[in-house]
Structure 1
Amino acid sequence: MRHMRIWTYVDEAARSGSLRKAAEKLNITPSALQRRIRDVEEDLGTPIFERTAQGIHLTAAGEGMLRWIRGQAADLDRLKSQIEDMSGLRRGNVRICCSQALVPFFLPQEITLFRSVFPQVRFNVEVRDHAVAVRMLREFESDLAIVFRPDRSVDIQPLCVLGQRLVAIMAQDHPLAKKPGLRVRDCVGYPIALPSSDFGTRAIIDDLLARSSARLDVQLESNSFELLRNLARGGDVVTFQAEIGAPHPPQSDGLVYRPLSDKDVAHGPLVVCQLKGRTLPVAVAKFAEQLARHLDALRVEPVEGAEAATG
């Protein structure tokens, strides 16, 4: 809507930290953008940006203003989605933040299935760790977060929770590939590649090792699960992730996914969540319902790709 344009200007200025950069993205002149922002500041009776030689920064009032702007934009998106849904167009935009374990198999399958029914719905997917994903929900930069082992927060509402074991990932010809009942201590003596310390999987492994006398030979750490899986595929390296990252149904990807024994207590929750109190746009709500149904099916049906070699 036309009256929302000024809020877009303020939002872009905050993201860019520079009037010049924001003006370039908005296709207006810096002086015109500055006038629009000053009009807002006059209406509010207080500055919303602090001007420095290094650029512009939100004041405390500006941060509150920006949260309000993004909330208004989210409500407008929801209204548009409801209007389009009533007209039968089934359009919309679904913005998701997710853990890396969702990327190889589960989330692409879910998006493909959803778009086969609602082809005009667009998706924006950001792969982030759980702390950033929760922040993006709070700042209305994402509609849903699908993350492993998020921190509890009073302003985040879980929509679906599924317990997840950790799986050890290795090449098909790895000596551990045919071993039933795999435990972390069985991986001693093999080169290990672990996720970085800001991932929930790593926290579980660290907690487990703190309770155990086993010492792993950690030769590589990375914030890329794709890199970790490729290292495992190409040699004798073993890595770990949540079982949602295993193919379901099984498929040939050159890897074996072995769930860790329950004796190791190596598990945590996968959570689909939203900002508490926010009414989701129709397309987002429908996709969240689909996710909940399919995750609930995994609750009672073992992940076969994690139980046996896939090849």
Structure 2
Amino acid sequence: MDRVRHLHGPALRYFAAVAEAGSIRAAARELHVASSAVNRQILWLERTLGHELFDRLGRGVRLTEAGEVLRAHVLRTLSDFEATAGELDALTAMRRGTVEIATVESVAESLLPGVIAAFRDKFPGVHVSVRLASSDKVAAAIIAGEADVGFTFEPPEDNRLAIAFYQDLAIGAVMHPRHPLAAEAPLSFGQCLAYPVCLPARGLSLRKRIDVVLSETPIRERAHVEANSLKLMKAIARSGDTIAFQTILGLEREIAEGSLLFRTLTDAPLQRDRFTILATAHRALSRAAQAFFDHSVAALRDRLSLIDADPAS
């Protein structure tokens, strides 16, 4: 019998339960079967694939590299099945469904609330789930099948990702209106370093571009703040003479009320931080997820066209 037909039986269910629980005994309790039955299925799966899937520890198990690969397959398979079930439930009208979204913080704060509200007006029966993550982890969630739609900056080049829309946004200095540099124009990153600064933490797309400039203009003899929360960085900039750095996304309200200023910087690496809307390139979205994806692209293309940037799609 073909191996693929074997693998899409109970063995994968048992494997997924053990990977989730971190223990064969705990997985057996969840499955309401004997531990020996679960262990036999895992051993059979390892023999069939020719790879050890778990490292056996004292009181549990840990996925090996091969196990991580198989787990990603299982997640994609389950996601595809759920999407298919949703399609069957919605042959005549999209009454139900689920959309899993992964997004960076700035988009969640400034753009997503309006996008989701408008979508829910059209499709009130669709469940929308949102998780916040760093830019790298948003892309990873799409690749692993853990999210349907991703909103992020500077995703990796990967043929498993489909980019339906992108727009380049400048990184600027964010400061209190009474900051000594508030009236300076043009303004460089080096000028900002004469004052206290708050840098985005490593792992954020903003920091990758700032590090390019820092390699030529390092911070000397001055301690600085690092944070992985744009909301915290904004609060720090509002509270004194510290300068933060980000794109204009997530700053619209503060700029409108006059509590913060956004000043574009002259340094070439800071002229572009690429905002993207992502989906997987390797499977079809459910009707609900596809509807949200299309709605998001249309809504954000209109919204971001109002920002003075270099749009492309």
Superposition TM-score tier, normalisation by shorter sequence? 0.7 to 0.9
Instruction: Show the counterpart of 1:57.
Output: 62
- In 1, distance between residues paired with 2:142 and 2:229? 22
Aligned pair count reads 299
Seen in structure 2, the aligned counterparts of structure 1 residues 68 and 203 have a Cα distance that, compared at 3 Å, is closer
Give the deviation of 1:285 after TM superposition: 1.3
Give the deviation of 1:239 after TM superposition: 0.6
Instruction: Show the counterpart of 2:5.
Output: none
Seen in structure 2, the aligned counterparts of structure 1 residues 233 and 33 have a Cα distance that, compared at 3 Å, is farther
- In 2, distance between residues paired with 1:253 and 1:7? 56
Does the 8 Å CA contact 1:195/1:221 hold for their aligned counterparts?
A: yes
How much is the aligned-residue C-alpha RMSD, in angstroms?
A: 3.3
Seen in structure 2, the aligned counterparts of structure 1 residues 262 and 210 have a Cα distance that, compared at 3 Å, is closer
State yes or no: 1:88 paired with 2:90. Answer: no
Structure 2, unaligned runs of 5 or more: 1-7
- In 2, distance between residues paired with 1:21 and 1:189? 57
Alignment of 1:1-311 (within 5 A): 7-22=12-27, 26=30, 28=31, 32=34, 35-36=37-38, 38-39=40-41, 41-42=43-44, 45-46=47-48, 48-59=53-64, 62-212=67-217, 217=222, 219-247=224-252, 251-252=256-257, 254-261=259-266, 265-302=270-307
Give the partner amino acid of 1:35.
A
Does the 8 Å CA contact 2:213/2:267 hold for their aligned counterparts?
A: no
Structure 1, unaligned runs of 5 or more: 305-311
Q: Normalising by structure 1, what TM-score? A: 0.81
Does the 8 Å CA contact 1:106/1:247 hold for their aligned counterparts?
A: no
Give the deviation of 1:299 after TM superposition: 4.7
Determine helix, strand or coil for the equivalent of 2:194: coil
Determine helix, strand or coil for the equivalent of 1:103: helix
Determine helix, strand or coil for the equivalent of 2:93: coil
- In 2, distance between residues paired with 1:221 and 1:35? 50
- In 2, distance between residues paired with 1:249 and 1:207? 28
Instruction: Show the counterpart of 2:3.
Output: none
Cα distance per residue 1:158-212 (max 9 Å; x no partner): 1211111113222343334454544323423221001112211011112123345
Does the 8 Å CA contact 2:94/2:288 hold for their aligned counterparts?
A: no
Identity %: 25
Does the 8 Å CA contact 2:151/2:278 hold for their aligned counterparts?
A: yes
Q: Normalising by structure 2, what TM-score? A: 0.80
Seen in structure 2, the aligned counterparts of structure 1 residues 147 and 42 have a Cα distance that, compared at 3 Å, is same
Moved more, 154-163 or 11-20: 11-20
Moved more, 259-268 or 113-122: 259-268
- In 2, distance between residues paired with 1:267 and 1:216? 29
- In 1, distance between residues paired with 2:260 and 2:254? 14
